[in-house]
């Protein structure tokens, strides 16, 4: 009878070790790579010397002197969504002002707006959203 008790204990130790090892492996192994979401825009849709705003993503694709770039519309002060007004971007919450390239004109925003990675593939502009 003592042998049966020992073998049960050995089996339980073995199972706990296996389960623990699998759990540890899952915890320590890297997460699968998830493709970054992208926003695709036709070049012709961005007005010359203008901006195309995507409210839901809080991103603007801007054309300036024939060059395209994307700016996050999240204010670097407290995260409000800035609005494009003519030649400036203005935060409605606390009045920070940015130029069309995202540089701070007046605070309280401590930093420029974030430039989003943008790739040009033919007539399509692809903006990485993360």
Co-location of 71 and 124 in the same domain: yes
Mean of the pLDDT values across residues 79-91? 88
Read off the pLDDT of residues 7-34 as tens digits, 9 standing for 90 and up. Answer: 777 777 776 666 766 665 566 565 566 6
pLDDT, residue 104, reads: 92
Cβ-contact 77, 85 below 8 angstroms: no
Residue 15, classed as helix, strand or coil, is helix
Is the four-CA dihedral 23, 24, 29, 33 of positive or negative sign? positive
pLDDT score of 28: 59
Q: What is the mean pLDDT of residues 82-94?
A: 88
Q: Are 107 and 54 part of one and the same domain? A: yes
User: Per-residue pLDDT averaged across 42-70, rounded?
Assistant: 86
Please state the domain count of the chain: 2
pLDDT score, position 1:
47
This prediction has a pTM of: 0.66
SS3 call for 45: helix
Average pLDDT estimate for 102-121: 88
List the Cα angle 43/62/93 in 5-degree steps: 145
Specify whether 69 is located in the same domain as 115: yes
The secondary element (H helix, E strand) that includes residue 16 is helix 2-28
The mean pLDDT value of the chain amounts to 81
User: Quick check: helix, strand or coil at residue 21?
Assistant: helix
Closest to 71 (Cα-Cα) out of 35, 118, 106: 118
Residue 87 in contact with residue 98, Cβ under 8 Å? no
pLDDT at residue 98 greater than cutoff 90: yes
Mean pLDDT of 99-126: 88
Neighbour tally for 90: CB within 10 Å: 17
Mean pLDDT of 70-92: 88
Range of the domain at 86: 38-128
Sign of CA dihedral 55, 59, 61, 62: positive
Say yes or no: 54 and 2 in one domain: no
């Amino acid at each position: 009878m003592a042998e049966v008790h020992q073998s049960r204990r050995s089996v339980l130790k073995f199972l706990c070790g296996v389960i623990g090892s699998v759990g540890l492996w899952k915890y320590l192994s890297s997460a699968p790579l998830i493709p970054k979401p992208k926003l695709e825009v036709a070049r012709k849709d961005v007005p010359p010397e203008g901006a195309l705003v995507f409210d839901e993503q809080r991103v603007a694709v801007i054309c300036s002197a024939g060059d395209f770039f994307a700016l996050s519309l999240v204010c670097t002060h407290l995260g409000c969504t800035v609005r494009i007004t003519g030649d400036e971007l203005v935060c409605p919450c606390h009045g920070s002002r940015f130029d069309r390239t995202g540089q701070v004109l007046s605070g309280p925003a401590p930093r420029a707006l974030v430039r989003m990675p943008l790739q040009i593939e033919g007539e399509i502009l692809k903006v990485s959203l993360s």
